[in-house]
């Protein structure tokens, strides 16, 4: 009995020794390892999704090969002035320069690139084709305002689908890149969140933003895309605030600047075509210059596929072959369409390239073109007195008077990319308009704003020489200084209101001396009692937007 009692007393300890207590999940090393593996799997899945679905990836290491010394001796260029049709015609061997209109990508460092060396590479990402075609066709074929093209481009880069975009953005896509809608139908941000939530259902994960922050450039692009999407889709955010936020950009890193003259040449076609981008005005300016050397075609390269354009994937260590540019058909379109410029040694704008095209007959070119209309919109042409309907696509010319009826509205784009939005019961006359993109002088624009409300955004004439643009109003003349504003007048000589959003204006009263130049953001009120300048508030901005028949954001 004693022996049996002893065994019975020891039994609980034997059981404990052979079957130790099971730790909690938090203490179990096997569970912790499993959770870590699941978290790593989630990170891998998210990273793969970003790499495959980011609309635009920016990687300055994914570029065409470069050479430090230009083959063939000193560079002695001939300036090119090509029409849109000539962009698709072969270019003979020689040295050339051509001005470029450049578009900043949303997630690059928003610092000017003037004087900084650049190298060249292609657009990459799921929507690379759509973005490249948008800015190329929009500029070359449709004369769409650069600011509008850039806004739509940034919306695409943020992952907004076509159905999520504002109607004005959809209209541009419908006109310019209807064949690329398939690239902008998948919502990568939604897919990203669904992937994360799928893994989070089986294991506790850190917040999605924390995971993205650890994933380098793709993760940062996704975080920035979420920020912009929230701004673009907010119903109570003004267009002004949206633009200000979009242009804030992200800056980081320590740089050693490389001057443009010391930078490398991009070998666009092996052994035959070399290019160098010189940035002057930068984003949406047309005084940037592409230098190009075309050498005679090497016989060996003409028969070798590697003689075409190559993409050097420095980040992965393997050169890749992009579609070959035939040695016998080197065109400006083949060389530049879908091309990005990356700054070297210093953070600066990553810029998409489009050649500045010339007009074959500037003197016969219309001053501008109607983009959209609502309600009653008419024009009285020079030498006539009868108003005729004005419709989208119609030209407007010097000495035309544009009028809108109750509830009417018209958007006009001028040849130098000046934009006018004219509200209801308004009247605007084009007094004088001369624009030749290849001329360094002689360009000018003068308008008479007679009554109503309108929004004005400066174009290239004002950027080259602001003194060449004036808008006459019932109370005096407005000198433009690189400006965006909304103005309202009842047509009398004593009442004018200007909401100055950006830039500056100088008001010269009728019969008086020029007043001081006022800089944005301010509201300028002219009444019988005089002129006063006040801070511009959001409520004041919304009020005058309503005069243009534009939906005012609601709180």
Interacting residues of 120 by C-beta distance below 8 A, sequence separation 6+: 63, 64, 266, 268, 275, 277, 339, 340, 341, 342, 353
Which pLDDT does position 341 carry in this prediction?
Answer: 92
Q: What average pLDDT does range 338-343 have in this prediction?
A: 90
Q: What gap in Å lies between CA 254 and CA 120, rounded to an integer?
A: 21
Which pLDDT does position 133 carry in this prediction?
Answer: 94
Which pLDDT does position 118 carry in this prediction?
Answer: 93
Tens digits of per-residue pLDDT, 362-408?
445 789 999 999 999 999 887 677 889 999 989 999 889 999 999 89
Tens digits of per-residue pLDDT, 98-107?
999 999 887 7
Q: Decide: 63 and 164 in contact? Cβ < 8 Å.
A: no
Which pLDDT does position 339 carry in this prediction?
Answer: 93
Which pLDDT does position 136 carry in this prediction?
Answer: 94
Examine residue 132 and say whether the peptide bond preceding it is cis (omega within 30 degrees of 0): no
pLDDT band of residue 50 (cuts 50, 70, 90) is low
**For the chain, domain boundaries:** 62-180+241-249+256-355, 362-546
Which pLDDT does position 20 carry in this prediction?
Answer: 47
* pTM of the predicted model as reported, rounded to 2 decimal places: 0.53
Please return the burial class of 88, using the count of CB atoms within 10 Å of its CB with bins 0-12, 13-18 and 19+.
middle
Which pLDDT does position 434 carry in this prediction?
Answer: 87
Q: What gap in Å lies between CA 191 and CA 431, rounded to an integer?
A: 53
Q: What gap in Å lies between CA 243 and CA 245, rounded to an integer?
A: 5
Which pLDDT does position 246 carry in this prediction?
Answer: 37
Q: What share of the chain is helix, strand, coil (3-state, %, to 5)?
A: 30, 30, 40
Tens digits of per-residue pLDDT, 146-190?
888 988 998 888 778 888 888 888 889 999 999 998 778 766 667
Torsion of CA 277, 280, 284, 287, to 10 degrees: -90
Q: Decide: 391 and 374 in contact? Cβ < 8 Å.
A: no
Write down how long the chain is: 555
Measured CA distances, 273 to 93, 99, 266, 296 (Å): 9, 18, 8, 9
Reading the block at residue 155, the tokens are: 């919306």
Give me the CATH topology for the region 362-546: Jelly Rolls (2.60.120)
Q: What gap in Å lies between CA 74 and CA 89, rounded to an integer?
A: 26
């Amino acid at each position: 009995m004693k022996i049996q009692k002893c065994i019975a007393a020891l039994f609980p300890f034997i059981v404990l020794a052979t079957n130790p207590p099971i730790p909690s999940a938090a203490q179990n090393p096997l569970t912790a390892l499993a959770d870590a593996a699941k978290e790593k799997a989630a990170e891998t899945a998210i990273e793969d999704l970003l790499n495959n679905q980011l609309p635009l990836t920016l990687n300055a290491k994914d570029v065409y090969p470069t050479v430090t010394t230009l083959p063939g001796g000193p560079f002695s260029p001939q300036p090119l002035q090509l029409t849109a049709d000539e962009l698709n015609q072969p270019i003979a061997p020689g040295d050339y320069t051509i001005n470029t209109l450049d578009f900043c990508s949303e997630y690059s460092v928003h610092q000017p690139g003037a004087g900084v060396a650049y190298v060249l590479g292609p657009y990459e990402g799921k929507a690379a084709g759509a973005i490249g075609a948008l800015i190329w066709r929009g500029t070359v074929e449709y004369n769409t305002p650069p600011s509008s093209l850039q806004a739509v481009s940034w919306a695409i880069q943020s992952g907004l689908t076509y159905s999520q975009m504002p109607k004005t953005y959809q209209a541009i896509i419908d006109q310019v890149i209807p064949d690329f809608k398939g690239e902008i139908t998948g919502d990568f941000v939604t897919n990203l969140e669904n992937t994360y939530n799928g893994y989070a259902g089986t294991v506790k994960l850190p917040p999605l933003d924390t995971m993205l922050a650890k994933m380098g450039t793709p993760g940062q692009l996704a975080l920035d895309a979420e920020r912009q999407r929230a701004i673009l889709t907010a119903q109570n955010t003004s267009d002004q605030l949206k633009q200000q936020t979009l242009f804030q950009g992200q800056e980081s890193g320590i740089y050693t600047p490389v001057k443009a003259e010391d930078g490398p040449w991009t070998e666009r076609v092996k052994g035959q075509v070399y290019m160098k981008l010189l940035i002057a005005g930068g984003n949406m300016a047309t005084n940037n210059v592409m230098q190009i050397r075309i050498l005679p075609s090497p016989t060996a390269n003409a028969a070798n596929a590697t003689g075409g354009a190559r993409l050097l994937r420095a980040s992965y260590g393997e050169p890749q072959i992009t579609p070959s540019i035939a040695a016998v058909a080197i065109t400006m379109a083949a060389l530049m369409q879908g091309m990005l410029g990356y700054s070297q040694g210093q953070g600066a704008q990553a810029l998409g390239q489009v050649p500045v095209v010339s007009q074959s007959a500037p003197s016969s070119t219309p001053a501008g073109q109607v983009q959209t209309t609502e309600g009653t919109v008419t024009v009285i042409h020079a030498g006539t007195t009868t108003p005729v309907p004005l419709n989208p696509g119609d030209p407007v010319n010097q000495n035309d008077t544009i009028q809108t009826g109750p509830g009417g509205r018209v958007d006009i784009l001028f040849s130098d990319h000046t934009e006018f939005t004219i509200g209801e019961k308004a009247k605007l006359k084009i007094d004088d308009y001369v624009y030749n993109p290849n001329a360094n002088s002689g360009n000018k624009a003068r308008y008479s704003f007679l009554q109503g409300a309108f929004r004005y955004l400066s174009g290239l004439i004002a950027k080259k020489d602001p003194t060449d643009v004036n808008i006459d109003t019932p109370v005096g003349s407005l000198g433009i200084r690189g400006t965006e504003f909304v103005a309202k007048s009842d047509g009398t000589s004593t009442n004018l209101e200007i909401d100055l959003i950006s830039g500056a204006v100088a008001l010269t009263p009728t019969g008086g001396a020029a007043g001081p130049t006022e800089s944005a953001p301010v509201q300028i009120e002219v009444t019988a009692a005089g002129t006063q300048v006040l801070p511009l508030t959001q409520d004041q901005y919304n009020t005058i937007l309503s005069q243009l028949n534009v939906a005012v954001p609601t709180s």
